[in-house]
Copies of this chain bind each other. A is one copy, B any other.
Amino acid sequence: MISEIRIIPVLDIPLIKEQDDLAKIVSERIELEDKDIVVICETVVTKSQGRVVDLKKINPSTRALDISKKTGKDPRLVQLILDESKEVLKIGDSVIVVETRDGNICASAGIDVSNVCGDESVVGLLPKDPDKEAEKIRQKLKKLTGKEVAVIISDTQGRPFRSGAIGVAIGVSGMKPLWKRAGEKDLYGYELKSSIIATADEAASAASLLMGQADEGIPIVVIRGARHLKGEGSSKELLREKEKDLFRP
């Protein structure tokens, strides 16, 4: 029997500061159940890790100044984007698409200028080691609540070919991020050849429907009733290998 999935907001999350304990904050605000997926927006993880940078302290290189001219972006921000990246993939009119040190392909290395602290010169980097951080939060949640949950750290990213951004999983713990269905049968008994669903990304998008991006203040939600693809998982599985990516420049 297939029953419904619920996307539940964790309410009254305070503004997060460095060293805040996200697991404790969650456990005090919602009654978790086994198999819940706890989706945490990267911004609050970034803040709890103290990964915020004041642009006033950055000295842009010649390369950053050059890219700044092409894109109209603050040269200090460009420097930070370069620092956080393995490779610059594309430079557009007002966009810099890079591969981050963690292998995510996204604009501006995922650096946030909104919802950081209210000072326009202070920006938020992506969390450090999001898989490891998701694992840490999951273990702490287990200790505090006794429940076996999965944890996803989510980001909102733009896409080639499609307009608008959607939620994706940049950190995963306690679930398989990909659901490999090859070998299963369809409704008519036909064997699926290669179907692979990015369940962790779909969960991040589902959570994003509730999180919003502006002043809702819902950075953490719980998904209850979804297929819990129990197992060890890493967000790295969601990154297409460079050699297998037809659109990689």
Contacts and interface: CB of A to CB of B under 8 A. Distances in A.
A178 B164 contact: yes
Interface string A136-175: 0000000000000000000010011111111110000000
Interface residues of A, number: 78
B186 A114 contact: yes
13 contacts: A2-B210, A4-B6, A5-B210, A7-B7, A114-B190, A114-B192, A115-B186, A115-B188, A118-B190, A161-B239, A161-B240, A162-B168, A166-B197
B209 A161 contact: no
Interface of A is mostly: loop
Count this chain's copies in the assembly. Answer: 2
Interface stretch (A19-27, A57-65, A76-84, A198-206): A198-206
Given A214-B192, A247-B247, A202 B9 contact: no
Interface stretch (A48-56, A90-98, A125-133): A90-98
A83 B164 CA distance: 29
A57 B201 CA distance: 39
A68 interface: no
Contact of A248 (B2, B161, B184): B161
